[in-house]
Amino acid sequence: MPTAEVMDISESATAEPLHIFKSCLDANVSTGIAAIQGLMQVLRQANAKTLQELVALLKTESEKFKKIQCSVIAVTSASELFLRFITLAHTQLETQDFQTCLQLMLDRGTSFLQKLGNMRGKVAEHFVDHVMEGGKILVHGESRVVQEALCHAAKSGKDFEVFLTRSGWTLKKQLEASNIKVTNIDDMAIGYVMNKMDCVVLGAEGVCESGGIINQLGTLTLAIVAQQFNKPVYTLVESFKFVRFYPLGQEDLPKQYSSRPSGLDSTADKTDLYSRVDYTPPQHITLLFTDLGILTPSAVSDELIKLYL
């Protein structure tokens, strides 16, 4: 059964795509899926006369999504993959009238959303065997796929303890509901506790072509410390977050990926340098657990080629 994330939660057929996107975010739907829900609304309301016009409409609307306080890279990767998927049947699109093409793309979009509903479950299945009995896991960030995977491991009978850095404290209640022992730690304590950990588990806002990840600020620091202590660093992520982007360092991250969220009280934040995310190169990532399987960072580029063929 599809999860609540991928069900059509549009209030009405007349709602603006941007409104659908915001409603999904308010309903705690992941950013990438919220973007696809919004783009599906574009298809429903499209008054374009040609495929080129429709594609332009979809791209214009996805740019509007990026102006909302959200993960811009998640919008980028999901939108690009969605556009590629719905136009895959290009031979049929070339031989049918436009209204038939539009219905075909709506059908493919619905199918794509249904596939997304199973992704987290597949990631959790791939990860469960890597959870050590009695192990200690350090988690950074508030990734929903990490939360689901850990809860799945607990329900399968694994007994382990989770340590949450400050950015992941919001996960404590959900993890404890699955009878997982949880300890909150301050970010400055990662060096102190790392030697006791069995592994580090991360989510990702985006997986780059290099095999590196863009994730919540502090991920790079955590991964470097883990590597120094010879601890494996695992990334749990859905394949729709794979993005055709090859940064060489932090300076290559577009400003829109890391910009200060709108509405942030500048008087309360005294930092002169601000970024919401950082880039962790592939050499600091041990394995990626995805719905496509368990991948090494070097395998990501091959999977991206397959996704966009």
pLDDT of residue 260: 53
Q: What is the pLDDT confidence band of residue 45, given thresholds at 50, 70 and 90?
A: confident
pLDDT digits (tens, 9 = 90+) for 138-168: 999 999 999 999 999 999 999 999 999 999 9
Greatest mean pLDDT among 16-20, 51-55, 225-229: 225-229
pLDDT of residue 295: 95
In the predicted model, what is the mean pLDDT of the chain?
85
Q: Which carries the bigger pLDDT value, residue 21 or residue 261?
A: 21
pLDDT of 286 over the 90 cut: yes
pLDDT of 266 over the 50 cut: no
pLDDT of 172 over the 60 cut: yes
Q: Please report the DSSP string for the chain in residue order.
A: ---GGGS---S-TTS-HHHHHHHHHHTT--HHHHHHHHHHHHHHH---SSHHHHHHHHHHHHHHHTTSSS-HHHHHHHHHHHHHHHTS-HHHHHHS-HHHHHHHHHHHHHHHHHHHTTHHHHHHHHHGGGS-TT-EEEEES--HHHHHHHHHHHHTT---EEEE-GGGGGGHHHHHHTT-EEEE--GGGHHHHGGG-SEEEE--SEE-TTS-EEEETTHHHHHHHHHHTT--EEEE--GGGB-S---SSGGGS-HHHHPPPTT--TTT---SS--SEEEE-GGG--EEEETTEEE-GGGHHHHHHHHH-
pLDDT digits (tens, 9 = 90+) for 178-217: 999 999 999 999 999 999 999 999 999 999 999 999 999 9
pLDDT of residue 98: 74
Q: Which domains does the chain have, with CATH numbers?
A: 4-117 (1.20.120.420), 120-308 (3.40.50.10470)
pLDDT of residue 249: 86
